Structure 1
Amino acid sequence: MRPDKQNIPANEAPAIFELASQYVSANLERYSLAELEAAAEEAGISAKYIPQAIAEIQAKNTKKEEKRQYIRRWLSQWLLIGSIAIMGGVGWIFTTYNAITNHKIQVEAAWAQVENQRQRRADLIPQLVKVTQAYTTHESILVTALIEAQQAYLEARSLEQQQDATEKIDQAIDQFQTYALNHSALKSSQLYINLQYEITGTENRLAVERMRYNQAVQSFQQQLQGFPNAVVAKLSRFESQPFLTAD
């Protein structure tokens, strides 16, 4: 459709007039070479200098435009470098966090195995009580020590309480071993011999799991130490874990 036959909405007329006036102003602000030379003659300036002045102005404008383009390219490059650095930093933070988390999970898994072996040893207490009662009627102190040690372990909740309960179980088992060595009938019984295998096997497995736990804790501690891992660990509130000493 031809422009002269288009129906222009009335609400668009003000915007059209404003834009058209800008075009007019832009055209009015332009001068031809002849007009500039005529104006120079009126001002007493030789017209031959006008082209030279125009060329110099255009050269300056070209340099300004080149400088602006250079600055834009420079800013674009640094923005790109900054974006890559930020993305790399965020990626490193996530990688470090995941690495520390994985080591923490390994510590927790190793600790679970230690607890399993400690529980296995605590479960031997009723058998020790049974054997003791079968071969003596006056060792109530030993029986009481065994029962209290098992009960303390079952009621322990914190790591400190478990450590204390484990020490009580150690002491109770040592008392049982000492008592058995001094009573030939008990020491030579098949029940005692079977229990010895159980106790020895449990102690060996516990020693192995305790060693693995300490190794996991050592690796975890190494992840928490040093810059910049320590920053991520602190911000994420990772806490160091204690080593286990021999029970």
Structure 2
Amino acid sequence: MGWVILAILIIVGLYLVVLYNRLITFRNRVENAWAQVDVQLRRRYDLIPNLVETVKGYAAHEREVFENVARARQAAISAQSPQEKGQMENQLTQALRQLFAVAEAYPELRASENFQNLQAQLAETENKIAYARQFYNDTVFRYNTTIEKFPANLFARSLGFTKKEYFEVEGEGREPVRVEF
């Protein structure tokens, strides 16, 4: 009888070690995926001041639009959680749409090589953000599913593993910023 109890304890112990290591792997994948989203968002944030300066050269009287973009960019940079990031990215996307609407009124601006280069870089970055967001959300899905499945759900919370948030954008923010004229 003692051997049976010992065997059961060893099996449970081994299961907990394997489960813990698996959960650690998933948690690290989620953190890595979020870091990749953050890299692409930072790239976007770095392009925006150059874009604003380029448009300013042609449309200096559109001060409110430039200020909206700057405020939205700063708010997006400051956001921490995926939910906050999603909300702030929506605001930044709206502000960029206003900026591109202003740019549409200036044919010389649209024809400038610098503006076209910035447009192409922003479009490429938007695609990378979409991919990174999808990869992050897929990774979060796998992680959350793993910690919610039986029997892992019996141990996950007590081992410090909790659900992660998805990085979601709402409404118009789901569409990439249009940078073509």
Task: Give the TM-score, by structure 2 length.
Answer: 0.87
Gaps of 5+ in 2: 174-181
1:187 aligned onto 2:83: no
What do residues 97-133 of structure 1 show as CA deviations (whole Å, max 9, x unaligned)? 1111110110010001001111111111211221121
Instruction: Quote the Cα distance in structure 2 between the aligned partners of 1:243 and 1:155.
Output: 18
Greater Cα shift, 111-120 or 219-228: 219-228
Query: Post-superposition shift, 1:244?
Result: 2.1
- Cα distance 1:112–1:169, how it changes in 2: closer, same or farther (>3 A)? same
Map 1:8-87 onto structure 2 (within 5 A): 78-87=1-10
| Distance (Å, rounded) in 2 between the aligned partners of 1:223 and 1:139 | 51
Q: Which amino acid aligns with 1:230?
A: N
Match of 1:201 in 2: 124
- Structure 2 counterpart of 1:214, one-letter code: N
Gaps of 5+ in 1: 1-77
Aligned partner of 2:50 in structure 1 is: 127
Which residue of structure 1 aligns with residue 154 of structure 2? Answer: 231
2:21 pairs with 1:98: yes
TM value normalised by structure 1: 0.65
Over 3 Å counting, the alpha-carbon distance change for 1:189 and 1:166 in structure 2 is same
| Relative contact order higher in (CA < 8 Å, ≥ 6 apart) | 2
Q: Which residue of 1 aligns with 2:73?
A: 150
In structure 2, distance between residues paired with 1:242 and 1:156 = 14
Shift of 1:159: 3.8
SS at match of 1:234: coil
Among the aligned pairs, what percent are the same residue?
Answer: 28
| Counterpart residue type for residue 135 of structure 1 | Y
Q: Helix, strand or coil for the counterpart of 2:161?
A: coil
Q: How many residues align?
A: 170
Residue 141 (structure 2) aligned to one of 213, 218, 222: 218
Q: Counterparts of 1:152 and 1:206 in 2: how far apart (Å)?
A: 18
Two-structure CA RMSD over aligned residues (Å): 1.5
Give per-residue Cα distances to partners, 1:196-230, cap 9 Å, x unaligned.
Answer: 11111100111111111011011101111122110
